[in-house]
Structure 1
Amino acid sequence: MEKKELKKKIETTYLDIAIPSNVENLQLPDPTLLQFYKNYDDRIIWIDDEITTMTLEYAKMIMQWNSEDKKNNIPAEERKPIKVIFFSPGGDLEVNNCLVDTIQLSQTKVIGINVGMAASSGCFIYLACHERFTFPTAEFLIHKGAGQFAGTYNDVVAAILNYQRQIEELGDFVLSRTKIPEDVFNENFENDWYLSAKEAIKYGVADKIITSLDEII
């Protein structure tokens, strides 16, 4: 084979490998996925939707970061903090309990940041954070919520009793994590109780109103 033909064959082969024949099918990486991995590297979690069983993934992430820090023998005060950013309408009570326990048991500091709304379960999870910040116009919602019961009479009675226990434990939890007087809490917990950022500071729901992003970035 002549040198010119051999060179042409090599170049053609290389081009077939390096350049897809159907360029229009090329797809860029999903920007949402890229942002997720960037946040993961920075230990940032966004709870910006309804709290469901999918939210349990965040508990797994917090446990994983604690495990990594422990394996690396990093003292608690020197660990890179986990930041949980809230814009949530609330949701599942059992998932709420799991995340509340996970955050409270975390040896790695968990910082909660309300950027818009921390409602119901979103607010309870926020209260579990070791440090709590809020945007100036963010809001909080504390309430009992509404249980859903179905089944036989005995099933419904058992579910109601369990729900009452959960609500009592939630009330004790809120009082233990805030400066809300018990009489004020009991008066408002029966209904939807909305708090502004300033009211959240007053009652110890939040520690500080953010005046610059530099405080949390």
Structure 2
Amino acid sequence: MTSSAIYNSITNQLVPIVVEQTSRGERSYDIYSRLLKDRIIFIGTQVDDHMANLIIAQMLFLESDEPEQDIYLYINSPGGQVSSGLAIYDTMQYIKPDVQTICMGQAASMCALLLAAGTKGKRFALPNSRLMIHQPSGGFQGQSTDIQIQAREILQIRERLDDILAKHTGQAKEKVRDDTERDNFMTGEEAKKYGLIDSVITSRTEVEKGKKKDNTEVEKGKKKDNTEVEKDKKKDNK
């Protein structure tokens, strides 16, 4: 068992259980399932295939549940596997709801890219957050031809990651390449200037503005649908 698997096993045992009173009696949730009811997803460990599959499944569920309301992705992670992170990234771009990203603690490596990939205008960081971008890394062994193949692959991956960061930050690709040559740490304000986030927030106010706007749009849509139904009924009666 890997150290990551051991860590996840221990932390899973420590996840709090929330008990709610409903008209049907008591119902208990683990804390992350309860947050999911409020459309909140949390990335709090290194990103691997297992974590990515859970995040993707939650996003797809929330899209099917209410495609017009925002999803809130909270990030406190040192990064992780590139392929797993790109799977989450592609899902964020694929689904219909806006994805608000909020960094608390740290968003490093692949998770800095996920933070930047949130919906424009809805990417936030708390005041003491730290962000870090860099080039992908990996270790290879085997025959020289195999190592050459892996080297070409990681160079292609770096090109793709540079393209994505340039797209979401508004920086030139050449600048992104230079800035990711080594570990590049940033404060929230520095990340804002760079284009990784849109605002540094100290309270929930900014996030709630997005939620109120979403609810207003949903209500407008419902009223419009009801109006169309009433028109159809009147037309049928005639």
**Alignment coverage as a number of residue pairs:** 181
Q: 2:133 aligns to what?
A: 142
**1:44 and 2:40 are equivalent in the alignment:** yes
Deviations 1:144-174 (A, max 9, x none): 1311212222222111111110100100110
Q: 2:115 aligns to what?
A: 126
**1:89 and 2:78 are equivalent in the alignment:** yes
TM-score, with structure 2 as normaliser: 0.71
Letter in 2 for 1:163: I
- Aligned Cα RMSD in Å? 1.8
**1:113 and 2:109 are equivalent in the alignment:** no
- Give the deviation of 1:55 after TM superposition: 1.4
Q: 1:165 to 1:193 in 2, by over 3 A?
A: same
- Give the deviation of 1:124 after TM superposition: 1.1
**1:67 and 2:64 are equivalent in the alignment:** yes
| Partner SS, residue 216 of structure 1 | helix
Q: 2:192 aligns to what?
A: 201
* In 2, Cα distance between equivalents of 1:111 and 1:178: 15
Q: 1:31 aligns to what?
A: 17
Deviations 1:185-204 (A, max 9, x none): 23221100011111111111
Q: 1:179 aligns to what?
A: 170
Unaligned runs of 5+ in 1: 1-28
* In 2, Cα distance between equivalents of 1:40 and 1:213: 17
* In 1, Cα distance between equivalents of 2:182 and 2:63: 37
The ranges of structure 1 where at least 4 consecutive aligned residues each deviate by more than 3 angstroms after the TM superposition are: 181-184
- Give the deviation of 1:183 after TM superposition: 4.5
- Give the deviation of 1:36 after TM superposition: 1.6
